Every structure is written in structure tokens, then in C-alpha cells.
């Protein structure tokens, strides 16, 4: 007897196999490791290749930030291994993860390493892939939608816009030792009008102080997007000088953005329209000359 989830699973798997064949996606060969991005949260944001990998894998090692709803599409009997860092369990060391990937691949398994966002963006995907290269294990990288772009899009904040920023800088607020990394803050501050910060909640006070000291305007708009693209997404719009205070009231995971592009949310918060009937301001930067408009 099949239960309902099993029937749904096999229907979804059959549909995904058909799609994979019609798109000419590569076969997931035994003994290979695929390092794939699951996207920032909304399961709909995984790529076709990522979905194909989930449906075909024998073993899936997944991170805390990869949405577990996606695992429902794994093949029946696939081994699902949580290799994240939280949840009160002893956390996996990076070396253990890489070692496990190598051992499983050597056993001839199709191994999927599923990571939040994009595996090569602040996600140690490159470290894991280098270990595979050293061990002579064949691997494929499947990019994903990164939180610093897709997460902002769900908050109605475009990562670039020609009226606000022709450049964007991505930084992490969390160095190897847990402290703010030792960056050239003067260069970061002048480098581009928009700065997107991953893993910043713990060091936000210091980050904001460094940027203001390096010449950024304390009144410049900023936003904190928590649980981006999940049902629980929350967005706090603030200014650079209040970023530290507001970060303390925000939950992780959170992505920070500093720059004039944050103002565009007034006109682009499409999710706010869907969820609470928010009215959008079609001229969030005050650029349209009212006399000549229309
Ligand atoms: N590889 C991931 C980033 C991993 S680093 C990616 O490309 O998105 C982990 C950091 O990513 C978190 O501390 C947070 O800053 C950000 N992040 C990941 N998922 C997020 C989400 N759903 N909402 C907000 N921030 C997120």
C-alpha cells in the first residue's frame, strides 16, 4: 500500500525526471558529488538542476539554511543527513563534512551536498569542492539564488538600480574568528554606493561605526531582512546610524543592505502588496516631475 506522501513523491519524481530529460540535464552518476544551492528559503527558488539532484541522489547532506521541505522530493530510501551547525546537536566540523563526502562518493553513491543560497557565496562550498578535487572525486557545482540578491528581491529591494547604484559590494560581517573581518573600511565605504552584508547580526554596531568613520552618511537608508523568502520573512528599514540597535531586535538569519537602493522598497514591496494590501509609491526616489508626468 502506498501512502499519500509516497504517491505525491513518486509523481513529483516522475515529473522531475521527465523535465530533466526534456531539458537535457546531466545524469547524476554514481560516485559523483554535486554541490548544490537550495536558494535562500522559498523552496520555489531552487534551480531545475538542484531539483533534479534531489530527486536522483542516494545521500543528501543538507545544511541548516537549506529548506527541508525540498527533501520531500528525495527518492524513497535516500539517506538524509543533517550536516548543519545549530540545533543543539554536536556540530559537524568542516573537515568531517568533506571527509564524509569523499567516503560516500568512494562507496559509489550519488552524493548531494545541499547548501543554503549559493554554495560559492560565503558558504564554504569551494573548500568542500577543493577537498573533493584533492581526493580525485568528480564533482559538479550547481549555483543557487543567494540571500544577498534573492532575499533582497523578496523584500522589494533591487540589488542594483541605475538611479541609485551602478555597483554593489558583498561582505561578510563574520570573520573566521567570529569577529568583524579586518577589511579596508575606507575602500569598502567608497567602493560602491550599496553594501550587502552577510552574517552581520553579531557585529552590526562595529560595522556601522566603521562605515560612518570611513565617511558613509549616518542617515543613509539601510534594511535588515530576516528569514528572507520564508513565510516568516520580516523587513526592518532603518538608517546606518540605527542599524546596530535594530540588529539587536532582529532574528537570524538576516541579510543587511546599506544604500539608497533601499528607498526603492516603497515602490517595489510586491510581497507587502500580496500579504497586507500595502499601497506602493511608484516614484520612491521622487524623480518624476509631477507637472510633466502623465
Ligand atoms: N551561501 C549562502 C550564504 C551562507 S552564509 C547564500 O548564498 O545565501 C549565511 C548567511 O547568509 C546568514 O548569516 C545570512 O546573513 C544569510 N542568509 C542566508 N539565508 C538567509 C535568509 N533566508 N534570510 C536572510 N539571510 C540569509
pLDDT in tens, 99-109: 999 999 999 99
Distance 116 CA to ligand 1 centre (A): 7
**By CB neighbour count within 10 A (0-12 exposed, 13-18 middle, 19+ buried), where does 167 fall?**
exposed
What global pTM score does this model have? Answer: 0.94
Residue closest by Cα to atom 19 of ligand 1: 40
Does residue 3 carry a catalytic annotation? no
Q: How far is CA 250 from CA 225, 229, 246, in A?
A: 8, 16, 6
Residue 279 predicted with pLDDT over 50: yes
* Over residues 258-270, mean pLDDT: 98
Question: How much of the chain, in percent, has pLDDT values that exceed 70?
Answer: 94
The atom of ligand 1 lying closest to the CA of 197 is 15
Domains of the chain and CATH, by start: 4-145 (3.40.1010.10), 148-276 (3.30.950.10)
Gap between the Cα atoms of 137 and 120, Å rounded = 18
Residue 282 predicted with pLDDT over 60: yes
Q: What rounded mean pLDDT belongs to the chain?
A: 93
Q: Give me the pLDDT at residue 224, please.
A: 98
Residue 208 predicted with pLDDT over 80: yes
Q: How confident is the model at residue 258 (pLDDT cuts 50, 70, 90)?
A: very high
Distance 149 CA to ligand 1 centre (A): 10
Residue closest by Cα to atom 4 of ligand 1: 123
Distance 199 CA to ligand 1 centre (A): 7
Question: How much of the chain, in percent, has pLDDT values that exceed 90?
Answer: 85
Cβ(151) – ligand 1 distance below 6 Å: yes
Probe ligand 1: pick from 43, 94, 116, 201, max atoms within 8 Å of CB?
Answer: 116
Considering the candidates 18, 72, 85, 93, report the single residue annotated as catalytic.
Answer: 85
CB-facing half-sphere around the CA of 91: CA atoms within 13 A:
9
Using one digit for the tens of pLDDT, what is the confidence trace for 109-132? 999 999 999 999 999 999 999 999
Q: How confident is the model at residue 1 (pLDDT cuts 50, 70, 90)?
A: very low
Does residue 85 carry a catalytic annotation? yes
Q: Give me the pLDDT at residue 18, please.
A: 86
Per-residue 3-state assignment (H helix, E strand, C coil) for 240-274: HHHHHHHHHCCCCCEEEEECHHHHHHHHHCHHHHH
Distance 63 CA to ligand 1 centre (A): 11
Q: Give me the pLDDT at residue 87, please.
A: 56
Amino acid at each position: 500500500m502506498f501512502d499519500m506522501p509516497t504517491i505525491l513523491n513518486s509523481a513529483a519524481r516522475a515529473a522531475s525526471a521527465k523535465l530533466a530529460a526534456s531539458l537535457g540535464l546531466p545524469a547524476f552518476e554514481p560516485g559523483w558529488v554535486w554541490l548544490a544551492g537550495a536558494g535562500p528559503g522559498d523552496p520555489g527558488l531552487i534551480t531545475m538542476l538542484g531539483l533534479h539532484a534531489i530527486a536522483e541522489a542516494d545521500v543528501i547532506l543538507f545544511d541548516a539554511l537549506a529548506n527541508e521541505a525540498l527533501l520531500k522530493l528525495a527518492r524513497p530510501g535516500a539517506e538524509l543527513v543533517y550536516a548543519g551547525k545549530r540545533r543543539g546537536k554536536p556540530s559537524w566540523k568542516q573537515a568531517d563534512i568533506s571527509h564524509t563526502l569523499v567516503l560516500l562518493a568512494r562507496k559509489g553513491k550519488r552524493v548531494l551536498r545541499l547548501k543554503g543560497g549559493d554554495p560559492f557565496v560565503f558558504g564554504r562550498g569551494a573548500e568542500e569542492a577543493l577537498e573533493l578535487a584533492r581526493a580525485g572525486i568528480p564533482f559538479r557545482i550547481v549555483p543557487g539564488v543567494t540571500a544577498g540578491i534573492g532575499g533582497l528581491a523578496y523584500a522589494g529591494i533591487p540589488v542594483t538600480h541605475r538611479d541609485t547604484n551602478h555597483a554593489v559590494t558583498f561582505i561578510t560581517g563574520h570573520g573566521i574568528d567570529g569577529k568583524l573581518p579586518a577589511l579596508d573600511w575606507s575602500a569598502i565605504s567608497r567602493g560602491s554606493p550599496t553594501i550587502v552584508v552577510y552574517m552581520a547580526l553579531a557585529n552590526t554596531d562595529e560595522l556601522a561605526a566603521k562605515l560612518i568613520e570611513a565617511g558613509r552618511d549616518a542617515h543613509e537608508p539601510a534594511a535588515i531582512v530576516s528569514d528572507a523568502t520564508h513565510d516568516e520573512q520580516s523587513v526592518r528599514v532603518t538608517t546606518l546610524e540605527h542599524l546596530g540597535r535594530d540588529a539587536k531586535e532582529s532574528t537570524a538569519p538576516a541579510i543587511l543592505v546599506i544604500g539608497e537602493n533601499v528607498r526603492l522598497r516603497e515602490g517595489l514591496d510586491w510581497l507587502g502588496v500580496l500579504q497586507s494590501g500595502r499601497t506602493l509609491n511608484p516614484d520612491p526616489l521622487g524623480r518624476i516631475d509631477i507637472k510633466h508626468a502623465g
